[in-house]
Amino acid sequence: MPAAPSAPAHPSPAPATLSGPQKALRKLGLVRSIDLALHLPLRYEDETRIVPLSQARDGQTVQIEATVTTSEIVLHPRRQLRVLVDDGTGTCELRFFTFYPSQQKTMAVGVRLRIRGEVKGGFWGRQMLHPAFRLAGGELPVALTPIYPTTAGLPQPYLRRAIVMALGRVDLSETLPSRAPSPPLQWHDPIGSGQALWTLREALVFLHHPAPDVALATLEDHSHPAWQRLKAEELLAQQLSQAQSRRERAQLRAPVLQTRGAGPQTLSLPEQLLAVLPFALTPAQRRVGEEIARDLARPVPMHRLLQGDVGSGKTVVAALAATIAIDAGWQCALMAPTEILAEQHFAKLIGWLEPILAARGQSVAWLVGGQKKKERTAMLERIENGEAALVVGTHAVIQQQVRFKNLALALIDEQHRFGVAQRLALRQKLAAHGMEPHLLMMTATPIPRTLAMSYYADLDVSVIDELPPGRTPIVTKTISDSRRDELIARLGAQIAAGRQAYWVCPLIEESEALDLSNATATHADLSAALPGVQVGLLHSRMPSAEKKAVMAAFSAGQMGVLVSTTVIEVGVDVPNASLMVIEHAERFGLSQLHQLRGRVGRGAVASACVLLYSTGDSGRLGEVARERLQAMVETNDGFEIARRDLEIRGPGEFLGARQSGDAMLRFADLRTDTLLLDWARALAPQMLEQHPELAQRHIARWLGGKAEFLKA
């Protein structure tokens, strides 16, 4: 959905002949008539009425018509033009601290003026500071005057005219089917208001020029029927485009992945994996494993999102899917957003799978950015000839030089870190076979239900909704930075008792270099304060070999504390680490805090998370920061955290790569418009089925050239 009215998919350079305001329109993305028509006012001014001064209340912005009785320049306390006016019901003093001689001339004694401004004072006399004014007379407008969001070089009157003209020529013909589709759906009254939906034309004309008697509150809170229509339109466009991509995908071919019926003597690969695992799957893992297996057995590409809180055990489910693909004679790729994560998956999967694969003459390959040329060449060869049945790595996996023999399944961990382009690249890896690989995307940032239904409507979703047994809940505490020394002393005692801790350093958005100096300084501090404890340092600028060495020492338990920037944010798994300190916790987002906390509480020991906060110079935490820290203390449940995050911040954070402004809803608000969302979800597939032309027209109107992009 366009965030700013849509610019064409490939904006052509502005011709030199464009005027200043025309260029400004382009800059705002106001290109097509429909873009202008959908550029809605920020607020309105009421110029439809003349208010008698006797009725003007303190603080009210009013329009009056009155005659000038005095006009003088006063020098004390400061030079100013003071004008007294009288409309027969009362008087008002106008004050101007800056003015042109021409303005002074306009406001000559005896002249009747139309004046608009905020009235101050009452009993001791009314006043307006710098009101707008012109000569009285002329017709009063019949509608409220719209005030549009604009930019430098684009005056309101120009923009207003452009919008009026656009409204005159834009095609706003109805795209909703005229008869209720079957089964009967309240399509004409999505929110059950007892009132039929307005047409789009009615809604837009009204929103640009509302009648003066409208309850402005209903425009401001977007509950007015005109707003309802707009939000319904927008959500419908979103659902249509996603339902359409779902249908298009159903036309694509993918390899059928089924384990071969292994004889009674030989176990299938998935069975072999289950046999070597040191634990039994949780019921939730088994259930989603079956959902995935069913998808893989179909000849159309799977497009599934696997959600599960941090530590819920997604990796093993992914490994299980991998064994199904490999057992069927195909290749599988596992992609993670960072090398450290990829390394961890690699280590675990190797431990589980390598012996099993080796027995079949197959292996696991590993591809990351900083690899040695020789190693990389060897890996590429094994991938191309199919010896590598499983390929683990970072973005390096989807590079063009990487040619798979027969990639059938791609597993993407922490999917929100990958962009649309990368998913598209993956999907093209099987093009030589005239097919697309199955896609399983994993995320530990649970997506609230409404958000999943809206932005991820084109995905199937599986949820792991329980943690493996035997986990003790993490205790979370907030501690002021002023008690840092006390905290370090307690940390020392815990480490002496055999525990391990992460210490995460603040995120400073503007500067990666500062991030680093902070982490380095903290590392020095802690090393000095904790003699005899090995303190490690991990940050994103380190060479990958060094990162690996540090992670290995920490995993092996040789290192008491690991100081790190947020590189450990996702997925790292060291069960013996049971303490997490997050410095400047007030600077992190809620989901990010939850992710970080999820690094501990992975073993049977009781774990703790300390949110160290600093109030800075103000001496107190901001409201949002306080709410976040509070939420962290109150709950360990990722879905509850996600729900609160949505409340605090809106949907942006969850959408990751889809977060690009283009994908955002401009008018609808998922926190409140759930009825409209349900309506759009129900209507979209029916419309595609029964009224395909209307559906296409609707998508084109709202998404222009962007529909293709949103599908990936």
Contacting residues toward Mg ion, per CB under 5 A: 571
Of 281 and 675, the one with the shorter C-beta distance to ligand ADP is 281
- Cα dist. 501→127, 488, 562, 598 in Å? 65, 11, 6, 13
Q: Report which of 122, 133, 58 is spatially closest to residue 94, judged by C-alpha positions.
A: 133
> CB atoms < 10 A from the CB of 139, how many?
5
Name the minimum Å distance from CB 306 to Mg ion.
10
Select from 3-11, 244-252, 278-286, 616-624 the region that touches ligand ADP (CB under 6 A).
278-286
The residue sitting closest to ligand ADP, measured at its beta carbon, is 313
**DSSP string for residues in 514-530:** HHHHHHHHHHHHHHHHS
Determine the Cα–Cα distance for residues 296 and 249; give it in Å rounded to an integer: 14
Of 288 and 501, the one with the shorter C-beta distance to ligand ADP is 288
Select from 53-61, 67-75, 90-98, 311-319 the region that touches ligand ADP (CB under 6 A).
311-319
Q: Computed over its alpha carbons, how large is the radius of gyration of the chain?
A: 32
Provide the CA 455 distance to its chain's centre, in angstroms. 10
Instruction: Decide which of ligand ADP, Mg ion, none touches 312; Cβ closer than 5 to 8 Å per partner kind.
Output: ligand ADP
- Please name every residue paired with 91 in a beta bridge, in sequence order, or none if there are none: 86
My answer on whether omega of the bond before 183 falls inside 30° of 0, hence cis, is yes
Of 37 and 570, the one with the shorter C-beta distance to Mg ion is 570
Interaction residues for ligand ADP, span 613-652 (CB under 6 A): none
Burial 282-296 (b: 16+ CB within 10 A, else e): bebbebbbebbbebb
Of 7 and 463, the one with the shorter C-beta distance to ligand ADP is 463
Select from 115-123, 309-317, 447-455, 514-522 the region that touches ligand ADP (CB under 6 A).
309-317
Pick from 308, 393, 448, 601 the residue near ligand ADP by CB under 6 A: 308
Angle at 339 between CA 558 and CA 504, to 5 degrees: 55
What number of chain residues touch ligand ADP (CB under 6 A)?
18
Of 586 and 645, the one with the shorter C-beta distance to ligand ADP is 645
Q: Report which of 558, 516, 507, 514 is spatially closest to residue 537, judged by C-alpha positions.
A: 516
Determine the Cα–Cα distance for residues 702 and 129; give it in Å rounded to an integer: 43
Determine the Cα–Cα distance for residues 392 and 545; give it in Å rounded to an integer: 17
Of 575 and 656, the one with the shorter C-beta distance to ligand ADP is 575
Burial 46-73 (b: 16+ CB within 10 A, else e): bbeeebebeebeeeeebbbbbebeebee
Select from 28-36, 242-250, 256-264, 567-575 the region that touches ligand ADP (CB under 6 A).
567-575
Name the minimum Å distance from CB 497 to ligand ADP.
22
Of 416 and 706, the one with the shorter C-beta distance to Mg ion is 416
Question: Within a 13 Å sphere around the CA of 580, how many CA atoms are in the beta-carbon half?
Answer: 30
Interaction residues for ligand ADP, span 282-301 (CB under 6 A): 282, 285
Of 308 and 437, the one with the shorter C-beta distance to Mg ion is 308
The residue sitting closest to Mg ion, measured at its beta carbon, is 571
Pick from 28, 94, 119, 444 the residue near ligand ADP by CB under 6 A: 444
Q: Report which of 678, 537, 586 is spatially closest to residue 239, judged by C-alpha positions.
A: 678
Determine the Cα–Cα distance for residues 675 and 650; give it in Å rounded to an integer: 18
Q: Is 313 in the site for ligand ADP (CB under 6 A)?
A: yes
Determine the Cα–Cα distance for residues 597 and 609; give it in Å rounded to an integer: 6
Instruction: Decide which of Mg ion, ligand ADP, none touches 685; Cβ closer than 5 to 8 Å per partner kind.
Output: none
Pick from 52, 468, 652, 685 the residue near ligand ADP by CB under 6 A: 468
DSSP type of residue 477: E
Of 289 and 536, the one with the shorter C-beta distance to ligand ADP is 289
Of 352 and 503, the one with the shorter C-beta distance to ligand ADP is 352
Determine the Cα–Cα distance for residues 205 and 567; give it in Å rounded to an integer: 51
Name the minimum Å distance from CB 393 to ligand ADP.
17
Name the minimum Å distance from CB 601 to Mg ion.
14
Name the minimum Å distance from CB 413 to Mg ion.
6
Select from 303-311, 369-377, 386-394, 420-428 the region that touches ligand ADP (CB under 6 A).
303-311
Q: Where does residue 405 rank: exposed (0-12), middle (13-18), buried (19+ CB within 10 A)?
A: middle
Encoded tokens for 88: 């027969």
Select from 32-40, 145-153, 279-287, 353-361 the region that touches ligand ADP (CB under 6 A).
279-287
3-state DSSP: the chain helix, strand, coil percent, rounded to 5?
Answer: 45, 15, 40
Instruction: Decide which of Mg ion, ligand ADP, none touches 313; Cβ closer than 5 to 8 Å per partner kind.
Output: ligand ADP
> CB atoms < 10 A from the CB of 200, how many?
23
Name the minimum Å distance from CB 344 to ligand ADP.
8
Encoded tokens for 298: 């179909």
Name the minimum Å distance from CB 635 to ligand ADP.
17
Name the minimum Å distance from CB 569 to Mg ion.
11
- In which element (H, E) is residue 230 found? helix 225-251
Select from 186-194, 208-216, 277-285, 635-643 the region that touches ligand ADP (CB under 6 A).
277-285
Interaction residues for ligand ADP, span 590-619 (CB under 6 A): 602
Of 415 and 564, the one with the shorter C-beta distance to Mg ion is 415
- In which element (H, E) is residue 378 found? helix 373-385
Of 97 and 279, the one with the shorter C-beta distance to ligand ADP is 279
**DSSP string for residues in 183-203:** S---TT-TT--SSPPPPHHHH
Pick from 117, 311, 536, 560 the residue near ligand ADP by CB under 6 A: 311
Instruction: Decide which of ligand ADP, Mg ion, none touches 575; Cβ closer than 5 to 8 Å per partner kind.
Output: ligand ADP
Instruction: Decide which of Mg ion, ligand ADP, none touches 141; Cβ closer than 5 to 8 Å per partner kind.
Output: none
444 neighbors 570 (Cβ within 8 angstroms): yes
Alpha helices by DSSP H, listed for 410-496, are 420-427, 449-455, 484-496
Q: Where does residue 359 rank: exposed (0-12), middle (13-18), buried (19+ CB within 10 A)?
A: exposed
- Sketch the per residue contact string, 237 through 276, with ligand ADP: x for CB under 6 A, - otherwise: ----------------------------------------
Burial 231-266 (b: 16+ CB within 10 A, else e): bbbbbbbbbbbbbbbbeebeeeebbebebeeeeeee
DSSP type of residue 115: E
Name the minimum Å distance from CB 259 to ligand ADP.
21
Name the minimum Å distance from CB 634 to ligand ADP.
21
Name the minimum Å distance from CB 575 to ligand ADP.
6
Instruction: Decide which of Mg ion, ligand ADP, none touches 241; Cβ closer than 5 to 8 Å per partner kind.
Output: none
Provide the CA 13 distance to its chain's centre, in angstroms. 29
Going by their DSSP bridges, the two strands 112-118 and 126-129 should be labelled as unpaired
- Sketch the per residue contact string, 569 through 588, with ligand ADP: x for CB under 6 A, - otherwise: --x-x-x-------------
Instruction: Decide which of Mg ion, ligand ADP, none touches 573; Cβ closer than 5 to 8 Å per partner kind.
Output: ligand ADP
My answer on whether omega of the bond before 77 falls inside 30° of 0, hence cis, is yes
Of 29 and 446, the one with the shorter C-beta distance to ligand ADP is 446
Instruction: Decide which of ligand ADP, Mg ion, none touches 279; Cβ closer than 5 to 8 Å per partner kind.
Output: ligand ADP
- Where on the chain is the footprint of ligand ADP (CB under 6 A)? 279, 281-282, 285, 308, 310-316, 444, 468, 571, 573, 575, 602
